[in-house]
Amino acid sequence: MRRSLLLYPIVICLLVLLSLPANIVAQSETPQDQPRTIFIPLITRTVTYPPLSSNWLERVNAYRARAGVPPVTESSELNSNCWEHARYMAENNQITHNQDPTKPFASPTGQICAQKGNVWIGWGNSWQPADAVDSWMKSIGHRIWLLYPTTPTFGFGFYTTATAKCRVNNVNWHCNGAALDVLSYFNYRADADYPGWPVRYPGIDQTDVPATQYPITLQWRYFGSTPVISSTDLRVVGGNAIPHTSTTSLPVGHKGIAVTPTVNLPANSLIEVSISGSYDGQPFTYTWQFRTGS
């Protein structure tokens, strides 16, 4: 059993906005006199992606490679903070972004990770750090932070209780907690110069996409405009359309588009997605393919 929790919108906004100069929050961009259409034709290419390692950092960077964004490094200080928060959640059997200082294992450094990270909790004897990373990748809000292209450094912690102390559904389980600090090095000032927006996931010609109702995302910079959707298409190449929903209403103020299948993606199939709309008044069409696993 497992749960994951999105970063609280109020916490995120306060953490980031308080550090911004006023002109960043209020700035607007002047539209060009003549809008130009950005048309991205069907993209296919031969890509060899790194394997999904059991090591948390290698696994995160393998996902980032699939999205075409730079790898991150780890901070030993952030790792320690997140281990303390993972311990707090597991020992107290509570998933949270805010520690109660009266509870066991609460700490000021653990609280830093609590308020700046993705969090996860699971019950059982076989959970590993990779399970937490995979869970975040299935969740739109967590995924976008994990793939944010201009963030250079993360911190991660994982903790398992020594005894089966957590009672869930009348069964005692070992408690497992995980936390990933994605905000301490959030570098929004680099966003305007980053050339790779929007970030798409699954990636072009990716071959290991889960055959589930796995969301497909396009993400733009956090302090940018909200895109407008004109049409979306999701289908098996050479086959039927796949029913889905699409939205620009993303968690915690992210700017992007999420296309979510309403049925499981068919296994071992080549899938094509096409998204048309506009961003900052400029029309676009993005079309690419990926393949599901078994």
Tell me, yes or no, whether 81 and 165 share the same domain: yes
In a domain, 25, yes or no: no
Tell me, yes or no, whether 161 and 215 share the same domain: no
- CATH code: domain of residue 213: 2.60.40.3780
- Give the total number of structural domains in the chain: 2
Domain boundary among 152, 187, 222: 187
> Does 81 or 165 have the greater pLDDT score?
81
Tell me, yes or no, whether 66 and 167 share the same domain: yes
DSSP for residue 40: E
Tell me, yes or no, whether 89 and 175 share the same domain: yes
Q: Distance between CA 183 and CA 269 in Å, rounded? A: 36
Tell me, yes or no, whether 178 and 202 share the same domain: no
Q: What is the mean pLDDT of residues 180-193?
A: 98
Tell me, yes or no, whether 180 and 120 share the same domain: yes
- In this prediction, residue 88 carries a pLDDT of 98
Tell me, yes or no, whether 274 and 219 share the same domain: yes
CB 286 within 8 A of CB 279: no
Q: Distance between CA 159 and CA 138 in Å, rounded? A: 21
Residue 80's SS3 state is helix
| Percent share of the chain, pLDDT over 70 | 84
Q: What is the mean pLDDT of residues 133-147?
A: 98
Q: What is the DSSP string of 179-235?
A: EEE-STT--GGGGGG-TTPSEEESPTT---B-SSS--EEEEE-TTSPPPEEEEEEEE
- In this prediction, residue 46 carries a pLDDT of 57
Q: What is the pLDDT of residues 32-79, one digit of tens each?
A: 333 444 445 455 455 688 889 999 999 999 999 999 999 999 999 999
In a domain, 39, yes or no: no
- In this prediction, residue 48 carries a pLDDT of 80
In a domain, 7, yes or no: no
Q: Residue 164: give the domain boundaries.
A: 56-187
Instruction: Identify the bridge partners of residue 233 per DSSP, sorted by sequence position.
Output: 274
- In this prediction, residue 193 carries a pLDDT of 97
Tell me, yes or no, whether 177 and 60 share the same domain: yes
This prediction's pTM: 0.85
Q: Distance between CA 181 and CA 185 in Å, rounded? A: 9
Average pLDDT, rounded, for the chain: 88
Tell me, yes or no, whether 148 and 271 share the same domain: no
| Percent share of the chain, pLDDT over 90 | 80
Q: What is the pLDDT of residues 1-34, one digit of tens each?
A: 555 554 433 333 333 333 333 222 222 233 333 3
Prior bond of 198 cis (ω within 30°): yes
Domain boundary among 154, 187, 220: 187
